[in-house]
Structure formats: structure tokens, C-alpha cells
Amino acid sequence: MDTSSDTGDGAPHRLGPGPPAEGGAGGARPRRAGGTAGGAARPGLHPAVRYLGGRVLTALVSLFAVMVTSFFLFRVLPGDPVAALTQGRSVTVEQLEAMRRDFGLDQPLPQQFLDYCLGMLTLDFGMSYQYRVPVADLIVERLGPTLLLAGTGTVIAAVLGLVLGTRAGWRRGSLMDRVDTGVALTLWSVPSFWLGLLLIVLLASGAGLFPTSGMSSPGAQGAFAAALDTAHHMVLPVATMVAVVYAQYMMIMRSSLLDEMGADYLTTARAKGLRDALVLRRHAVPNALLPTVTLIFLNLGRVVSGVILIETVFAWPGLGSLFYSGLRVPDLPIVQALFVVFAGSVILMNLLADLVYPLLDPRVRT
Amino acid sequence: MARQQDRFRPPSRPPKTLTNRPAVRTASALTAAALAAAPGLTAASSASADSENGGATLTVAASQPVDSLSPFLAQRLISTSIHRLAYDYLTNYDPETNEPIPGLAESWETSEGGLTWTYTIREDATWSDGEPVTAEDAAWTYTTMMEDEGAATANGNFVANFESVEAVDATTLRIELEEPQATMLALDIPIVPEHIWKDVEDFSTFDNGDFPIVGSGPFVITGHEPNQSITLKANEDYWREPPKFDRLVFRYMPEQDAQVEALRAGEVSFVGGLTPAQADALKETENVTVNTADGKRFQGFTVNPGARTRDGEGFGDGHPALEDRVLRRAIMRAVDKDEIVESVYGGYAQAAGGYIPARYDTYHWTPGDSRRLSFDPEAANRMLDEAGYERGDDGVRVSPAGDRLKLRMHVHNDRPDYVAMGKLLVERLADIGIEVVNRTVDPGVLSDALYSGEYDLIFTGWTVNPDPDYVLGIHTCGALPEEPGTMRSDSYFCDRDYDRLYEKQLAAYDDRGARAEAVAEMQRILYEQAVVNVLTYADTLEAYRSDQIASIQVQPDPGGNIWGQDGHWSWSSAVPADSRASAAAGASPWAMAGTGAAVLVAIGGGVYLLRRRAATAEDRE
């Protein structure tokens, strides 16, 4: 976002009088922006350090809670992994017992919990029941495809949403606003797997423009050809994802821009003789951007959890489909680890957003 | 425009660059999207280059990812199917009749009493690295499974009854058994090369990922993209006729509808596991052949006859009236199997008779007219009236012991056919005064209910192998759990006559006629006791591109399936179609046209946005 460079020099705020922002942008300001350290500041501690420490501490506590939840949450799931894995196959009682022992399921629950916690602390997520390989390896293997797909999708959706949202907000009520908003909201309410299948039917198997699924054609030769091949495979899943999610960026951008519209600093800017487009770009947009940034950061955290249904429809080998396959068994080491990773990435991105705020918005610094 | 702007800008500000303008950004984003579409060119050209090399590729859509490439660990059908292609077994199954035929063992003999089996290993079989396949490889594979728990993970049940295995010489393998075993010609164990595997330290984690994987089957596994695809190459030195396709690719596609679209697009040559609706639609598609095969699975439900342990200790909370055989039989008379075939499977199924599906004609049993529990709600009502089940005011019957006939029914929520069958069952049983509480649940909930004995009716289904030993064995008294919650069967059935016949068919390992007779008698008992109730044998529905595959072997022939065969016949004998090369080349102009169109649209869109932007800016000035 090149617009942030405008924010960097603080120019827009010099124009905008401080207090009135309370009415407009104040509502959209991060909720924890004000007092979180509980009021009683310890003497000698720099406010910035206190802010930072508080944020990190909160994140750590959340992470720990997630870790504990993860263990018990999936043990409540019905079904016995050993029975599910051997379902419909000829097995002896000895084989079942051996599997149970291998998985550590013959241990009492407190012992299992202890092993799990120790494992988590050393980043040893255990061995997948179904694939018999370390879960950490599986996650690393699948992380790339998910980041590629969901990351690209999020970036495109955010850019598209910001541009369209700004346009729509600035000319509220115009035909363009109504059409853009209508289209975005319609797509937002479309189920992603259905849209995905529709695109496959129309553009892949119908018109033959794109491959129907997968991340690459088996046996693509050479790095450049392979990259192009992957990009070709990405078009439909990314398009599906963007189409479904860009509305949220657009609507947030639109409404926070509307919040700024009545602000006095815009009148001042106009009074100085600035063109409308400049008023928008230099003054309104930077101020309206904050809530959208929060949303983008939250979604960046969710990038890791991928887009489960889209990954399934397009046979994309990412974390979402790994999680789904783990849930069916239940493959406890996989689902536990992924739950922590998913939740952890959201927590991390939240933390980053909190840390970035003071840089974006001088009001948060005080 | 730029001059005017500068007048109001603080002097320290750097001049704006072109890329900072939103419209330009939008345009460049669109162009990037168009570039992303461009690889259509490369993808298509690589496909045609492939066919220029003379390599015909057969691509199969797979619904599951491979769980493991180690034959000691692999449990999923996709993985065991691939192992059948890459490794030979001692014996194989005839593609036409399902009867055992020579594999690595070219002949065999048994001692009196059937405790010693001696196999002669063929001399012309080699590993794909050139080493000969010997009796030592087989002995090492089996012994390792007997001695190492990790190596027994997938197939330990086959060797559980082995006393010892020995390679007498390079071509003679001798197996001593503890008890006679009927499945000695149905040992579905991939034999692995000792010279590669002897250094493995931990069989429970060894993933066998060293490509190309040394094997002895008609194909060699040459590559694996986890969760995406697995590639095999024809083994030119295979002792049977080598495959006619040069390359075989299994592509993982979890979504069934996406698989069908990939088949339409010609990206895959074969799709299995179709729903009746998909099969009907594909029948109308050009260049696609639909194969309807007699199913290997049966679908049905079991009744809780009173859950108990092997020692006879009862547990769970099954409805007490279900211990009455008359009630169970009346339930079966109220169920219309033909209705299920029509409305659930659209005609793509057979109404079931005995326990073993009709495709195995050696063992399949059909009840005679005098025994048949044919659909007749009036007869069922009469049976219940006579047995003292009186109707209450609400139409629901009450057992002689005073229990209202309200039964819980557990249905797998991930199987549309079971869900539809369950709904029919609720209606039909209401006709005879039985109230059914339909619990359509997660399979995990269902198996918890089963193992704890807390169920009344529960849906089930098994895939039956050419040798029926295992599916018969799970209904012996010996399969009852030692303690509550440790069961591996799907009913708490126990019948002394059934057990006696089970032993008899085991001992009749070398007399097919006598064995078939005992197996038929066992099915009669299951049928008459009405605890294990088979409703249908659903057809297997598959489709392939006839412009890519000229012919393919089904098993059994005729009427058999392509995917999940007992053997490697379908893929090892498939013949490429002549038109394949032209079909692959045909993709290229399409992709080019598409890419061209995408680029044009993107550029056009970008230009339009830029112009608009400029126009509005001018208006303002």
C-alpha cells in the first residue's frame, strides 16, 4: 500500500483537527487502542515498552489457552482413530493393540496430556496416524501451497476491495456505487465451492481455458515452465476466492470512508483549493484505511488456515485439505497441531496489527 | 495537471510516480492476472511434447491421497491398488473368474492336513533393478511381518497363524501353519526385495520414498507429489506381458464432481465411484464409456441382538425385544429391497439375497422361495400379532414383556445412500407398528454406539474379497469382544452351528465345492437369524475416455469393475487409443485462444480505466 507513505509524514493529520476525529474515525479505531495496561502504570516503565509488553503477554496467554483447548477439544470428538483407520479391513486384535500403543492411546489421559504439552513446547507435534510421518513435516510441506493460494487471493481481494470501496464511498449513492456494492454483496453470499465448480464447468471443462484442478501438471519440466504451469492452475481457485471475499474489504473501506466524509479537515482541504481527487487520496483515504488494515491483518492470520472448501474443490494440496483429512479419522496429532498453528497465526497477526498501529496512526501512540 | 498540483504541495514532497495512481495500479493488477493465464501455452505444449516421445499416459482420478508407499503400512485402497501394480504377490486372481492363479509362485502343494505349504517360485521374475526375485525375498517379507510389529501394521492378519517361513532354496518357499488356513492362495501381501529392505531400521516409519522404487510388478513407481499425484512407468522386463501404456498417473482429486469435469475435459482418462446421476449424465457424453459393474460391497444393517462379551456378560442398552428372532424376521419382511434399488440407487444395484455379493458366484447364496423373507407387510403384521406384540393407542406395538417398540437407528451421515435407505426404513417399519428414531450421525458417533452396545439398528457394509474368509469370520462367537468396547465386528452375532460351519469351510481349503457348500449354509443361518441383514449390492459405476483408452480389462469378465480389482489387470492390460496423440495436441489452440482472449480483456479493461480516470480528472480541473 503506497498510500501509507502519505501517512508516514503525518501530513493528513496536520490538517485534520484532533478532537473531531473522535466522532468519525474514533469509532473505527482499534478497540484496545486506549487503555489496556489497566491504568496503574508502573513507575519508570516507558509507555511504549508497557504497550509492547502488554500486547506480547496477552498473545502468549491466548496461545497457551489455545494449546490446552486443542488437546481436549479433539478428544471430545466421537470415534476411535484406530477403528476408523482399520474400518472395513481385515485386522487382528494384535494389530489393533499395536496401533493403539504406537499412537500412545493406551496411556492414561493425564499422561497423554503431559506428552502433548512437552511435545508442543519443543515443536514436536508427533506422528500422523494416517501417514506415519512427523506432523511438522506435513505442515511444512503443505504450508507453501496454502500461502501461495490464499496469500495471492487475499492480496488481490484487498487491493480490489480498497479500490472499489474508495470509489463507492466517495460517490455514495451513485449508480456505480449501487452496482458495485450489489455485485460485491451478491458474490459474498455465494458458496465458494459452488462458485468454484461453476467456474470449472464453464472455463475449465467447458471452454478448456484452464486445468480443472490440482496445483501442477504431473511431469512439468524446468523451473520456469513449472512456475507458469502453477500460475495457470492458480487462476480459477484464486478467482473463486477473490470473488467471494473482496466484498468485506470493499464494504469496510466504503463505510470508513463515509465516516470521514463529513470531517472538517476535508472541508479545510477543499477550501485550500485542492482538487477532489487529491482530497480523497491525501486526506480521506489514509484516515479511512485503519479499519481495513485491521481486517487485512486478521485475514493474513487466516491465510494459513487456507480456504478449506476451495482447496477441496480444486484439489489444492494445502493445509485446509490436510485439516479436513485429519478430522475425518480423527488423526489427533494433525488436527491438534493445525489448530494451534491456525489459531497461533491469527494471534500473531493480531499482535503485529497492534504493533503496527502506532506507526500508522499517531493517535494510538499517545 | 502536474503544475496545478505542485502549487498546493509541500516542497519537500517527492514527485508522484506513475505507479502511484490507483487506476494504473488496477491496470497492472489486471495485466498480472492475464499473465497468470498465459501458461496455457506452456502446459499444452508440454503435453504434446510428451506424446511425441511416444509415451502414452493413462491418468486415473483418485479420491484419496496415498497414505504410505510402504507395503507394510499402506492401508488405503488407493495405496494397496498401487502396490498391486508395483509388487507381485505369491498368487494372483484370474481376471475373468476371480479364481487364484499363479503369481510369483508358479505352483504349490500342501501336506496332509494342510499345515505345510510349499510354493515353487518362478525363475524368470526379476526386480526392477535387475536382481532376481527369489524364495528368500518372500521368506524375508513374511518373517519380518511375523517378528516386527511395525511391519505387521497393514497385513499382519495374513501371517498371524504362521508357525514358520523358510526358503529351502532359491525357488522353494515353505510355510508351516499353526492351524489350517483357507487363505493360503489369497495372501495379498506385496513381496518386497530383501536386498533393499534389510537395512531398514524402523518399519513403522519407513516411507519407501527412494525413486524409482525397486519392485517386481508390471509398473515401477517413479514419483510421488504428496497429496497431488503419483507416477508409475511401465516395467518393460515384467515376466508377464509388459503394459501397453508407458506411463500411469494417479491424480488426487477429492471432489467427485471435479473429477467428472476433469474427465469431460480429457485431463484424466478414468473416474471411478460415480453416483447414479453422474453415470447417467456421462452416458450422454461423447468419447466417454460408462462401465456398470457388479459391486464388491454389500449394504445393510445389523440388529442389536443383545450385546455381550465372549464370556457371555451382557452390556449396552439394546432394545430387549430385539432378542426375539420373530421380531427381527418381521422387520425384514417389512423392508422393500426393490424399492431401495429403484429409489436409492436409481436401478444401479441388486436386491440382496445372501451375505456374499452376487459377483462371487462360487460363494453367493440366494434364499429359496420357502425361506425367502419377501416384502409383505401384512405377513409381517400377522407374525407380530401372533407373537403377542399388540398395537398401542398410537399405533406403535408393545412387546409381550411390555416394552414399547421404539428403536434407535444409526445411519452414517457421510453416505448419501445410507441416509436415503434410512428414511425408507423409518416409513416401512412404521407400517408394522415400529417407531424408528432416525439418528443420522457422524461415523465416529456410530462406531462409538456400536462398540458400547448402545444401539438398536445400525447401518453397515463391507467390501468382500474373492476369498470370503474374513467377512465370515467376523460373525463367529470368537469375534465377540473380550471386554465391552473392544469389538471389531459390526454385530454381536454368535451361533454354534455357524461356528461349526466356519471351521468346516476353513478345513476345506483344497475342496472348493465342499467349501462353497459350507459357506452357503453359513449365509442361510445369517439370513434366518436376521441379525446381519443385507439389503443391496450396489453397482460400481465408472467411466473412462474412449478416445484415450481403446480397451480395458474388467474383473470378473463380464460384468466386473476396473478400479480396485484384485490384481493389476485393468491398468496392465489397458490399450491406448490411436486418437490420443491428436486429442492431446488439440488442447493447444484452445489454450492459446483462451490466453489471448484473457490478455485482450485485461489490457482493454486497463486502458478503459485509465481513460476514464483521465477524463474525470479533466472534468474536475
Q: Find residues 334-373 of chain B whose CB sits inside 8 Å of chain A.
A: none
Q: Find residues 16-55 of chain A whose CB sits inside 8 Å of chain B.
A: none
A-chain residues within 8 Å CB-CB of B448?
Answer: 78-80
| B363's grid cell | 460363494
Q: How far is B311 from chain A (nearest CA, A)?
A: 17
In the three-class reduction of DSSP (H, G, I as helix; E, B as strand; rest coil), residue B105 is classed as strand
Nearest to B265 among A102, A212, A272 (CB): A212
Asked whether residue A364 is domain-assigned, the answer is no
Look-up of cell digits 428372532: B325
| B403's grid cell | 416394552
Asked whether residue A270 is domain-assigned, the answer is yes
Write b or e for each residue in B434-457: b if 16 or more Cβ atoms lie within 10 A of its Cβ, otherwise e. Answer: bbbeebbbbbbbbbbbbbebbbbb
Tabulate helix, strand, coil % of chain B (nearest 5). 40, 20, 40
Tell me whether strands B457-463 and B229-234 are parallel, antiparallel or unpaired: unpaired
Q: Find residues 210-269 of chain A whose CB sits inside 8 Å of chain B.
A: 210-221, 225, 228-229, 231-232, 234-235, 238
User: Higher confidence at residue B48 or residue A147?
Assistant: A147
Residue B69 near residue B79, CB atoms below 8 Å: yes
Kindly state the average pLDDT of the residues A69-79.
84
Hey, is the C-beta of A198 within 8 angstroms of any chain B C-beta? no
Nearest to A159 among B29, B223, B255 (CB): B29
Residue A59 burial by CB count (10 A; 0-12/13-18/19+): exposed, middle or buried?
middle
**CA-based nearest residue to B347, from B541, B131, B94:** B541
Nearest to B46 among A163, A204, A220 (CB): A220
Sign of the Cα torsion B477, B142, A89, B506 reads negative
From CA A256, how far away is CA A292, in angstroms rounded?
Answer: 8
In the three-class reduction of DSSP (H, G, I as helix; E, B as strand; rest coil), residue A124 is classed as coil
Q: Find residues 576-615 of chain B whose CB sits inside 8 Å of chain A.
A: 587, 590-591, 594-595, 598
Residue B127 near residue B193, CB atoms below 8 Å: yes
From CA B449, how far away is CA B411, in angstroms rounded?
Answer: 11
B-chain residues within 8 Å CB-CB of A166?
Answer: 22
Hey, is the C-beta of B258 within 8 angstroms of any chain A C-beta? yes
Which of B202, B232, B286, B488 is best to mutate for the A interface (most A CBs within 10 A)? B488
| B588's grid cell | 493447444
Q: Of all helices (H) and strands (E), which one includes residue B424?
A: helix B416-431
Q: Which CATH architecture has domain B297-538?
A: Roll (3.10)
B-chain residues within 8 Å CB-CB of A272?
Answer: 8
A-chain residues within 8 Å CB-CB of B590?
Answer: 207-209
**CA-based nearest residue to B468, from B430, B420, B519, B532:** B519
Hey, is the C-beta of A4 within 8 angstroms of any chain B C-beta? no
The C-alpha angle with vertex B14 and arms to B12 and B15, in degrees rounded to 5, equals 130
Q: How far is A112 from chain B (nearest CA, A)?
A: 20
| B377's grid cell | 407387510
Q: Of all helices (H) and strands (E), which one includes residue B598?
A: helix B580-620
Q: Of all helices (H) and strands (E), which one includes residue B355?
A: none
In A, minimum Cα distance to B248 occurs at A218
From CA B95, how far away is CA B100, in angstroms rounded?
Answer: 10
| B519's grid cell | 459357506
Phi, psi angle pair for A329, to nearest 5°: -80, -55
Per DSSP (E only), the strands in B50-115 are 57-62, 91-93, 100-102, 105-110
Residue A127 DSSP code? B
Half-sphere exposure of B255 (CA within 13 A, CB side): 23
Determine the residue type at B537: Y
Q: How far is B397 from chain A (nearest CA, A)?
A: 33
Q: What is the pLDDT of residue B583?
A: 42
In the predicted model, residues of chain B with pLDDT beneath 50 are: 1-53, 580-590, 592-593, 614-615, 617-621
User: Higher confidence at residue A154 or residue B600?
Assistant: A154
| Interchain proximity A201–B486, CB inside 8 Å | no
**CA-based nearest residue to A289, from A260, A246, A263:** A260
**Which residue blocks in chain A are alpha helix, DSSP H?**
4-8, 11-15, 25-28, 47-76, 81-85, 93-103, 109-121, 135-146, 152-170, 175-188, 192-199, 223-261, 264-271, 276-278, 285-303, 308-313, 319-328, 332-360, 362-365
Q: How far is B145 from chain A (nearest CA, A)?
A: 11
| Interchain proximity B160–A77, CB inside 8 Å | no
Residue A112 near residue A333, CB atoms below 8 Å: no
Task: Kindly report the CATH number assigned to the domain that includes residue A262.
Answer: 1.10.3720.10
| Cβ count within 10 A of residue A344 | 17
Which of B1, B3, B45, B46 is best to mutate for the A interface (most A CBs within 10 A)? B46
Q: Find residues 441-470 of chain B whose CB sits inside 8 Å of chain A.
A: 441-445, 447-448, 451, 461-463, 465, 470
| Interchain proximity B207–A160, CB inside 8 Å | no
| Cβ count within 10 A of residue A261 | 14
Q: What is the pLDDT of residue B481?
A: 87
From CA B520, how far away is CA B219, in angstroms rounded?
Answer: 38
Q: How far is A212 from chain B (nearest CA, A)?
A: 6
Nearest to A232 among B40, B68, B587 (CB): B40
From CA B499, how far away is CA B480, in angstroms rounded?
Answer: 12
From CA A322, how far away is CA A337, in angstroms rounded?
Answer: 11
**Which value does ipTM take for this structure?**
0.76
| Interchain proximity B226–A200, CB inside 8 Å | no
Nearest to A79 among B35, B226, B448 (CB): B448
**Distance between terminal CA atoms of chain B?**
8
| B318's grid cell | 439394546
Q: How far is B475 from chain A (nearest CA, A)?
A: 13
| Interchain proximity A321–B204, CB inside 8 Å | no
Measured CA to CA in angstroms, residue B122 lies from A84, B103, B106, B110, B184 at distances of 38, 8, 5, 18, 18
Q: What is the pLDDT of residue B333?
A: 94
A-chain residues within 8 Å CB-CB of B587?
Answer: 208
Hey, is the C-beta of B136 within 8 angstroms of any chain A C-beta? no
In A, minimum Cα distance to B159 occurs at A92
From CA B22, how far away is CA B27, in angstroms rounded?
Answer: 9
| Interchain proximity B19–A273, CB inside 8 Å | no
Asked whether residue A113 is domain-assigned, the answer is no
| Interchain proximity A102–B46, CB inside 8 Å | no
From CA B582, how far away is CA B52, in angstroms rounded?
Answer: 10
Measured CA to CA in angstroms, residue A196 lies from A77, A144, A148 at distances of 30, 21, 18
Hey, is the C-beta of B8 within 8 angstroms of any chain A C-beta? yes
Specify whether domain B57-294+541-576 bears CATH 3.30.390.30. Answer: no
Domain count, chain A: 1
From CA A25, how far away is CA A263, in angstroms rounded?
Answer: 9
From CA B225, how far away is CA B423, in angstroms rounded?
Answer: 42
| Interchain proximity A214–B444, CB inside 8 Å | no
Residue A273 burial by CB count (10 A; 0-12/13-18/19+): exposed, middle or buried?
exposed
| B342's grid cell | 429403484
| Interchain proximity B25–A314, CB inside 8 Å | no
From CA A34, how far away is CA A363, in angstroms rounded?
Answer: 9
Hey, is the C-beta of A98 within 8 angstroms of any chain B C-beta? yes
Nearest to A88 among B10, B50, B463 (CB): B463
Hey, is the C-beta of B24 within 8 angstroms of any chain A C-beta? no
Q: How far is A312 from chain B (nearest CA, A)?
A: 6
User: What pLDDT digit, counting tens, does each position of A163-212 carry?
Assistant: 999 989 888 888 989 999 999 999 999 998 899 999 999 998 888 888 88
Hey, is the C-beta of A208 within 8 angstroms of any chain B C-beta? yes
Give the structural domain span for A213: 135-331
User: What pLDDT digit, counting tens, does each position of A17-38 carry?
Assistant: 333 333 333 333 444 433 444 4
Alpha carbon dihedral A92, A96, A97, A101, in 10-degree steps, equals: 150
**What DSSP line would sit under B141-181, residue for residue?**
HHHHHHH-TGGGTTTHHHHTTEEEEEEEETTEEEEEESS--
Nearest to B261 among A201, A228, A234 (CB): A201
From CA A296, how far away is CA A26, in angstroms rounded?
Answer: 19
A-chain residues within 8 Å CB-CB of B47?
Answer: 217
Q: Find residues 500-529 of chain B whose CB sits inside 8 Å of chain A.
A: none
Phi, psi angle pair for B249, to nearest 5°: -120, 130
Q: What is the pLDDT of residue B594?
A: 54
Hey, is the C-beta of A197 within 8 angstroms of any chain B C-beta? yes
Q: Where are the domains of chain B?
A: 57-294+541-576, 297-538
Which of A77, A205, A307 is best to mutate for the B interface (most B CBs within 10 A)? A205
Asked whether residue A127 is domain-assigned, the answer is no
Per the prediction, chain A carries an average pLDDT of 80
